[in-house]
């Protein structure tokens, strides 16, 4: 259904919630067992992050980011994209990559409204958010879930251990993405 969302004119949230409802009706799990196994701390963490991003957007803080990035308008777009990869990667390592992506969507749209060609910037956002999330334990939703579940084992993944392994992976993948972005730049334009 996600592949058909544009054709059917329905939101991804509606598709996800509908699928979850159908699965619950079909499987009919024990409600108390299900509620006991939910990772409530992870859900509360992401709820707070999305509220924070929504609040920043409503307060106009994201417009400040657009204004701050507008000084780069004279920079060649290919270099702007590389800068965006690293900026978003750095932010995604500090804050989960999903809220950073959601926060940067209106920023990129705002840059487009000011006359910048934003098509290649979408790819820079994807690379920065995707690879930047590997840097720290809180950089990606999957990281948080895995680390949270690993706490129940004899070998939990600590933040220190993750940073030791994840940060070099983030730096190398962002470097490779930057080089490929430059080399394949014509493919990222319309």
* Tens-digit pLDDT profile for residues 106-140: 888 888 888 888 899 999 999 999 999 999 998 88
Determine the angle formed by the axes of helices 141-150 and 159-183, rounding to 10 degrees: 160
Backbone angles phi, psi at 135, to 5 degrees: -65, -40
* Tens-digit pLDDT profile for residues 167-189: 999 999 999 999 999 999 998 88
Neighbours of 158 (CB within 10 A): 13
Q: Residue 89: which residues within 8 A CB-CB, separation 6 or more?
A: 127, 128, 129, 131, 132, 135, 170, 174
What is the pTM for the complete model shown? 0.74
């Amino acid at each position: 259904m996600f592949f058909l969302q544009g054709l059917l004119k329905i939101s991804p949230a509606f598709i996800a919630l509908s699928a979850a409802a159908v699965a619950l009706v079909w499987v009919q799990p024990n409600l108390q067992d299900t509620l006991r196994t939910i990772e409530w701390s992870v859900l509360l963490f992401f709820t707070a992050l999305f509220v924070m991003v929504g609040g920043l957007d409503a307060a106009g803080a994201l417009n400040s980011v657009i204004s701050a990035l507008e000084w780069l308008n004279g920079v060649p777009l290919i270099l702007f994209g590389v800068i965006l990869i690293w900026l978003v990667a750095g932010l995604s390592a500090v804050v989960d990559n999903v809220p950073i992506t959601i926060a940067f969507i209106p920023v990129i749209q705002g840059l487009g409204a000011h006359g910048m060609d934003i098509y290649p910037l979408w790819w820079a956002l994807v690379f920065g958010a995707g690879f930047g999330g590997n840097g720290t334990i809180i950089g990606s939703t999957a990281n948080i879930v895995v680390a949270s579940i690993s706490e129940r084992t004899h070998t939990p993944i600590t933040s220190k251990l993750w940073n030791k392994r994840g940060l070099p992976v983030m730096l190398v993948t962002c470097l490779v993405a930057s080089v490929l972005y430059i080399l394949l730049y014509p493919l990222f334009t319309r």
